[in-house]
């Protein structure tokens, strides 16, 4: 059926408290994507709405959004795979277009996390784990990733300072990303200063500075078949490879704690489908919900050997000027993490990079980009490879 291309991307600003409704929030990312694609709403054959449930009162938001955005009577559906929802949405959209069932599909990700308190939000996230065997005992996202951080430190000698270097990099680019929720500089000294919020303990060895922030936001990615993409857009970005995997929801069922097997498997699939390898990637977006998550991603994606990811950040190889630029839009650590919108935001960044439209964050002449998006504590993994 030919290639599948991305013809439009959009994202709202990620903020701590969006004042409008979820349908208005979704419109923010959608309108930017439609404008970017230079198409009419009526050119869109179907839509997929992606988020994690239970952050707002609306059941089945897909129908509400379709009406509000002018996407009826076209079919719509709701999809969730926790934090990787909109990357999984892109996978489904690719399948719908590749099969010939639809020509143009919009993937709309959103989350309005400020609808509930921080304590309630943490409880909802905890329920992304097994509600029978794990989450009733108080396990939450920072504690889970702290276990991975501790295991990595014990096996490979990784230090808290290595993790802090990742946050410093994130803040370097978050300051110049107008869509980011956190746009302040972060220095290594802040992690050793007891008066600095960055140094506060969360779940040892993770500190406040090692953790991303909740946010409200939306994103939208519009995909089309090859014929439509070439007819409607003079700058399509092609989907070269897609990988996805899952694993045991209970950590007791896992045998690796220094990396995420879903990322390894999804990356293997995506590289094979695209016919490329780690050394061919010019720019990447990885799921840095915590600093340890970015470090593990370096290794899981093949950018570094196991235990050697720290050498990349120490040498600044993952900065914009380095050999493998990673999260040069600030990542989740600076942009914020509105769960359902995150994957779409990552995809948007790579699309802009491949077009040469990333402004101050632009990497020099990239041809192939990668998006690594994780759902839950390594429960779901999606890797997407894009090319210009």
Active site residues: 83, 337
Tracing tokens 């990239």 back to the chain, one arrives at 366
Burial degree of 66 (CB within 10 A; 0-12, 13-18, 19+): buried
Q: Please give the DSSP secondary-structure letter assigned to residue 173.
A: H
Partnered with residue 380 across adjacent β-strands are 246, 375
What distance in Å separates the CA atoms of residue 85 and residue 61, rounded to the nearest whole number? 14
**Angle of helix 118-126 versus helix 141-156 axis, rounded to 10:** 60
Tracing tokens 């092609």 back to the chain, one arrives at 238
Helix, strand, coil share of the chain (percent; to 5): 45, 20, 35
Under 8 Å between Cβ of 329 and 335: yes
Tokens of residue 234, six digits: 């003079």
Sign of CA pseudo-dihedral 243, 247, 251, 254? negative
What is the total residue count of the chain? Answer: 388
Tokens of residue 153, six digits: 């430190």
């Amino acid at each position: 059926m030919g290639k599948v291309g991305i013809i439009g991307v959009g994202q709202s600003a990620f903020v701590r408290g969006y004042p409008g409704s979820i349908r208005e929030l979704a419109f923010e990312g959608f309108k930017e994507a439609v404008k970017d694609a230079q198409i009419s709403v009526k050119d869109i054959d179907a839509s997929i709405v992606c988020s994690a449930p239970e952050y707002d009162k609306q059941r089945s938001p897909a129908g509400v959004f379709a009406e509000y955005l002018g996407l009826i009577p076209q079919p719509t559906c709701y999809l969730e795979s926790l934090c990787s929802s909109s990357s999984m949405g892109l996978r489904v959209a690719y399948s719908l277009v590749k099969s010939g069932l639809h020509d143009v599909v919009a993937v709309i990700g959103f989350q309005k996390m400020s609808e509930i308190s921080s304590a309630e939000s943490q409880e909802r996230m905890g329920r992304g784990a097994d509600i029978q065997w794990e989450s009733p005992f108080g396990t939450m996202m920072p504690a889970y990733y702290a276990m991975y951080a501790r295991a990595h430190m014990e096996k490979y000698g990784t230090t808290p300072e290595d993790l802090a270097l990742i946050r410093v990099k994130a803040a370097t680019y978050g300051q110049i990303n107008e869509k980011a929720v956190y746009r302040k500089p972060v220095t290594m000294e802040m992690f050793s200063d007891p008066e600095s919020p960055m140094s506060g303990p969360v779940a040892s060895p993770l500190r406040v500075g090692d953790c991303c922030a909740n946010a409200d936001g939306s994103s939208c990615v519009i995909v089309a078949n090859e014929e439509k993409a070439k007819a409607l857009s003079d700058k399509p970005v092609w989907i070269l490879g897609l990988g996805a995997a899952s694993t045991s929801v209970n950590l007791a069922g896992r045998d690796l704690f220094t990396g995420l097997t879903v990322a390894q498997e999804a990356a293997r699939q995506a590289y094979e489908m695209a016919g490329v390898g780690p050394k061919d990637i010019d720019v990447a977006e990885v799921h840095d919900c915590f600093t340890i998550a970015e470090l593990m991603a370096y290794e899981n994606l093949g950018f570094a050997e196991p235990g050697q990811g720290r050498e990349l950040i120490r040498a600044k190889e993952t900065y914009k000027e380095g050999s493998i630029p990673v999260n040069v839009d600030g990542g989740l650590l600076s942009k914020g993490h509105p769960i359902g919108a995150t994957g779409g935001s990552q995809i948007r960044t790579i699309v802009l990079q491949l077009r040469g439209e990333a402004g101050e964050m632009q990497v020099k002449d990239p041809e192939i980009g990668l998006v690594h998006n994780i759902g839950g504590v390594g429960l779901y993994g999606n890797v997407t490879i894009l090319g210009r």
